[in-house]
Amino acid sequence: MCLGIPARITGIADAAAMLADVDVHGVRRQVDVLCVAPTDAPLEDLIGSWVLVHVGFAMSRISETEARATLALLAEMGELHEELSAMQSTGETGALHAVQ
């Protein structure tokens, strides 16, 4: 199953390419932020924001409360580990590594 999963934007990897670094429950990767990029502010304003990530794209901004509730629900359903494993095994939008 391929779900949208909450991630926190931790940095901007390449502003011209609209790529940001995100942390997804300890897994880091780069995602495309075109869909959530502010039109009237610098891309760096996204740092710290929570987004819903699906197939390498940040699809929408969500609140931290919603992000944490979704992560908890995914963990309860047993889907969180599956999704994180899938993210680690695919690298089409950047390298992944577990956070120490």
Give per-residue pLDDT as tens, 9-65. Answer: 999 999 999 999 999 878 899 999 999 999 999 999 999 999 999 989 999 999 999
Q: What is the pLDDT of residue 44?
A: 96
CATH code assigned to 5-90: 2.30.30.140
Q: Are 84 and 96 within 8 A, CB to CB?
A: no
Q: What is the pLDDT of residue 96?
A: 34
Confidence (pTM): 0.77
Domain residues of the chain, as ranges? 5-90
- Of 59, 65, 47, 77, the closest CA to residue 5 belongs to 59
Q: What is the DSSP letter of 40?
A: S
Q: What is the pLDDT of residue 88?
A: 64
